[in-house]
A and B are shown apart, each in its own frame.
Chain A
Amino acid sequence: MADVTLKTIDYAVLQQCMHCGMCLPTCPTYDATKLERNSPRGRIALMRAVADGELEVGKTFADEMSYCLGCLACQTACPAGVQYATLFETARADIERSGVNQSVSRDFWRTLTLRILFQRPSLLRAAGAGLRVYQRTGLEALVRRTGLTRLLPPSLRRVEPQAPPIAAKFSNALIRPVEQATGEARFRVALLTGCVQDLVFSDINRDTADALLANGCTVETPPVQPCCGSLHAHNGETDLAKALARRMIDLFPPHAYDAIISNAGGCGSHLRHYGPLLADDPAYRDRAHAWDRKLKDVHEWLIQIGARPPKASPFDAPLSLTYHDSCHLVHGQKISTQPRELLRMIPGVTLTELPEASWCCGSAGVYTITQPDQATKLQERKTAHIIATKATCVATANPGCHLQVARGLDAAGSTIEVTHPVSLLARAYRREQ
């Protein structure tokens, strides 16, 4: 897939779009502008024009592909089964190859993140630890109070307040490399700890392990894990994505596990497609397909193995709860009933359905940095819906959504708690004793 461009991609993938327009009402950017260019079928028409040699990959084309959230709501809506994710990643790779977006500061940030930090897990953790010092020592508050952020270059100035609060301990400090199932061990599973999840929400990784242990799974969690490559693939760096996929397969040989568990919607959506990614690699192709079959979202796996309803409630008093679908969980992986089913299992909570639950919250990877205006509009729309449910707690299963929703609620002055479905489940199991 590395060398595939819009000009060389199987034309049938482009032709699959018969431009019926069924995707339009589900696309958050078309909804915002009512311009066809900002719609899935409009973007596919642009890609097809590039493939046909009628259009150059220029700045406007690049801007359009950057405006797309990549939420994949269109893939759920599409009756014709268009593989929008494939087309979108191919278009973004074409854009990187063309160099139309190159600038010194963009190159610096891309190299730092995609080529350095998200390639070396220990370095990423070191950077995370440094960031935590900055956030915890009062330095952050001081810098902000004194207006020192004004000295930062504009790109960094936008990013600085978005840096998430780093956890005190990372996953390797919370989860032992092998933990035995509580009771009879029925399955052997691997737990993927992720990158942002590991730095910011290592407690969710711990909760995931606990929920699995309580359901007869022996959990293997190697302390150092490479990034899955999802960030790289979504941002047009296909070669790096392939290299990371190989490292993952080497670390987690699929035949050794009953399932390989992801608890982050965005990562899972990419992780399930190593097969197509490594289709041209004879040494890895078969293992990549085996990997795809073993890769399970944690909710999907727990329901599949018949998760045990907890006997205790995670809360002291009954409360109402709502659920926000992560785009890459609901649209990318078609997982929507399982998290809800798990939440309904938990004593003492009532699940209220969130209006527009599967509409993007605007987090979308680096979208909050690249498209701050549109990201904020979507955040406000999501936050308003959550507040209107009058729920005490909102569950969601992706770190990007988690942060985006939490910030949105915070900005709206709401105290609604944001959590992961599996965290509630684990909390309930723990309170059984």
Chain B
Amino acid sequence: MPLNDSFLHSLRAIVGDDRLLTLAEDLVPYSFDGTAALKGRPGAVVFPLTTDEVSACVRVAAEALVPIITRGSGTGLSGGSVPSPDALVICLVRMDRILHVDAENLTMRVQAGAVTVKIDEAASKHGLLYPPDPGSMRISTIGGNVAENSGGLRGLKYGVTRDYVMSLEVVLADGRITRFGSACVKDVAGYSMKDLFVGSEGTLGIVTEVLLRLVPKPAARRTMLALFDTMEAAASTVSAIIAAKIIPCTLEFLDRTTAGCVEDYAKVGLPTDCEAVLLMETDGHPAAVTDEAALMADIARQQGAREVRTAKDDAEAARLAAARRNAFSALARRRPTTILEDVTVPRTELATMVTFIAQIARHYDLQVGTFGHMGDGNLHPTFLTDERDEAEMARVHHALNDIVTKTLELGGTITGEHGVGLAKKPWLRQQMGDHSYELMREVKRALDPKGLLNPGKIFD
């Protein structure tokens, strides 16, 4: 049902004419996020500038029973910010200020629409680092990162977004403004509500402000590429490095298809004639970096690496990491539709999983490019297909089902860092089990009794 005039009038009273979109030409570009083949045209989009404006918009939507989809830059990979038809999109990209860097307490306070890379740049000016670096960091917003609990290339050593959230300002489903967490390193007062909201995918509240933890910038780093003739050898190298009690900052993996597409785009000198490439990086004290880099190179060779190359300087290292961040999008060079998976398994199961994915692709006669954060056990097998080919899409669905089933058998999870959203919804109950699944729905009902916040995401 299209949004009625009195509702739009109320929104206009809050944000004014120029921050409310209702024209078809304005709404079509808000019908999707970074996920393939999912779309839904919203009824209106608003751009609040303050938490109070967000709260006021939520109040009128709650009264009119209009569903709300919170959105940042729309780079999500599970359909988390794809609107339900005629919903209200609250887009936070104009709440993008970095409010305060506290270099003494190693924290930074930012609005939800602040762009991830700007946060890291602001930290860098003070000799600090904001570690989570999702592939879309040049445009993704911190609010979206918090909502999806995003990971990144440095996750292996530094963890994910959750590990850097100290406190949150949240607008609840009825418009109340709340704060959870504090600026203290230790804080066990009450339930850890902030942790409930991190990764809640916009279904429990709207994050408007975040207090982030920062860490000192490492003094040195070294980036290497190891080239392998089999994917299994790359996977066993990762297991061997972990087993040798080294925690590198990055252990990223690209298969031949992915490396080819990335090199096509970025021209950074990635090899395209080997079955697997590992991007390995260690950072920290210069002496430790030297030791660890040598050890990792040795292990890679012992596991059968054809060659281990070292980036000659920081600029080359940065180019390699940037190229890797574009892997998913670069895969779209091959076929019109790219269906991306995010399965994660315990690291000892990596070789099994990688082999299984290759078998499944052959079995269903599908093209697949696999890459991912191998050090985290987090793989992104990506099916290269065409959404207009129904028969092939049906085979893709079967393949996804088999991969998920295998992942769960191996003790893994259906999503390591992209969130459930719409894309992974069909498999959540299978992973969680009935009791846990129902408990989550009870939490949702308690916080959003009218079911207006990002309805239909995670579960129905």
Contact assessment for B29 and A42 in the assembled complex, using a CB-CB cutoff below 8 Å: yes
List the one stretch of B156-164, B203-211, B329-337 in contact with chain A: B329-337
Instruction: Known A-B contacts: A20-B75, A24-B73. Give 20 more (CB < 8 A).
Output: A12-B386, A16-B332, A18-B337, A20-B328, A21-B34, A25-B115, A34-B47, A35-B29, A36-B29, A42-B29, A46-B29, A60-B23, A60-B25, A61-B25, A79-B327, A79-B330, A79-B333, A80-B330, A80-B332, A81-B264
User: Chain B nearest CB: distance from A22 CB in Å?
Assistant: 6
Contact assessment for B31 and A45 in the assembled complex, using a CB-CB cutoff below 8 Å: yes
User: Cα distance A12–B333 when bound, in Å?
Assistant: 11
Contact assessment for B25 and A21 in the assembled complex, using a CB-CB cutoff below 8 Å: no
Q: Considering only CB atoms, which chain B residue lies closest to A50 in the complex?
A: B28
Residues in B whose Cβ lies below 8 Å from that of A21: 34, 73-75, 136, 139-140
* Pick from B33, B94, B326, B332: contact of A34, CB under 8 Å: B94
CB-CB contacts below 8 Å: B246-279 with A: 262, 264-266
Q: Considering only CB atoms, which chain B residue lies closest to A81 in the complex?
A: B333
Contact assessment for A78 and B329 in the assembled complex, using a CB-CB cutoff below 8 Å: yes
User: Chain A nearest CB: distance from B238 CB in Å?
Assistant: 25
User: Chain B nearest CB: distance from A206 CB in Å?
Assistant: 35
| Chain A CB within 8 A of B100 CB | no
Residues in A whose Cβ lies below 8 Å from that of B264: 81
Query: Which 8 residue pairs across A and B have the least CB separation, nearest first?
Result: A42-B29, A80-B332, A79-B329, A36-B29, A15-B336, A79-B326, A79-B330, A21-B75
- Interface residue ranges, B against A (CB under 8 Å): 21, 23-26, 28-34, 36, 47, 73-75, 93-94, 115, 136, 138-140, 262, 264-266, 326-333, 336-338, 386-388
Contact assessment for A22 and B333 in the assembled complex, using a CB-CB cutoff below 8 Å: no
> What sequence of 0s and 1s flags, for each residue 1-39 of chain A, a beta carbon within 8 Å of any chain B beta carbon?
000000000011001101111101100000000111101
User: Cα distance A25–B116 when bound, in Å?
Assistant: 12
- Interface residue ranges, A against B (CB under 8 Å): 11-12, 15-16, 18-22, 24-25, 34-37, 39, 41-43, 45-46, 49, 54-55, 58, 60-61, 64, 78-81
User: Chain B nearest CB: distance from A373 CB in Å?
Assistant: 15
Contact assessment for B336 and A12 in the assembled complex, using a CB-CB cutoff below 8 Å: yes
Q: Considering only CB atoms, which chain A residue lies closest to B140 in the complex?
A: A21
User: Cα distance A35–B27 when bound, in Å?
Assistant: 10
User: Chain B nearest CB: distance from A49 CB in Å?
Assistant: 5
User: Cα distance A15–B332 when bound, in Å?
Assistant: 9
Residues in B whose Cβ lies below 8 Å from that of A81: 264-265, 332-333
A-B contacts, 26 of them at CB < 8 A, read: A12-B386, A15-B386, A16-B336, A18-B329, A19-B32, A20-B34, A20-B329, A20-B332, A21-B73, A21-B75, A21-B136, A22-B139, A24-B73, A34-B93, A35-B26, A36-B30, A37-B28, A45-B31, A46-B28, A46-B29, A49-B28, A55-B25, A79-B265, A79-B328, A80-B333, A81-B264
Contact assessment for A11 and B388 in the assembled complex, using a CB-CB cutoff below 8 Å: yes
User: Cα distance A3–B329 when bound, in Å?
Assistant: 31
Residues in B whose Cβ lies below 8 Å from that of A60: 23, 25
Residues in B whose Cβ lies below 8 Å from that of A15: 336-337, 386-387
Contact assessment for B25 and A46 in the assembled complex, using a CB-CB cutoff below 8 Å: yes
Q: Considering only CB atoms, which chain A residue lies closest to B261 in the complex?
A: A79
Residues in B whose Cβ lies below 8 Å from that of A22: 136, 138-139, 326, 329
Q: Considering only CB atoms, which chain B residue lies closest to A63 in the complex?
A: B25
Residues in B whose Cβ lies below 8 Å from that of A11: 336, 388
Contact assessment for B34 and A19 in the assembled complex, using a CB-CB cutoff below 8 Å: yes
Q: Considering only CB atoms, which chain B residue lies closest to A42 in the complex?
A: B29
Residues in A whose Cβ lies below 8 Å from that of B326: 22, 79
Q: Considering only CB atoms, which chain B residue lies closest to A21 in the complex?
A: B75
User: Chain B nearest CB: distance from A249 CB in Å?
Assistant: 30
* Pick from B29, B74, B338: contact of A37, CB under 8 Å: B29
Residues in B whose Cβ lies below 8 Å from that of A80: 329-333
Contact assessment for A37 and B265 in the assembled complex, using a CB-CB cutoff below 8 Å: no
User: Cα distance A36–B266 when bound, in Å?
Assistant: 25
Residues in A whose Cβ lies below 8 Å from that of B265: 79, 81
User: Cα distance A389–B261 when bound, in Å?
Assistant: 37
Residues in B whose Cβ lies below 8 Å from that of A12: 336, 386
User: Cα distance A351–B51 when bound, in Å?
Assistant: 47
Contact assessment for A79 and B93 in the assembled complex, using a CB-CB cutoff below 8 Å: no
User: Chain B nearest CB: distance from A80 CB in Å?
Assistant: 4
User: Chain B nearest CB: distance from A376 CB in Å?
Assistant: 20
Q: Considering only CB atoms, which chain B residue lies closest to A76 in the complex?
A: B265
Assuming the contacts A36-B29, A45-B29, asked whether A55 and B333 have C-beta atoms less than 8 A apart, the reply is: no
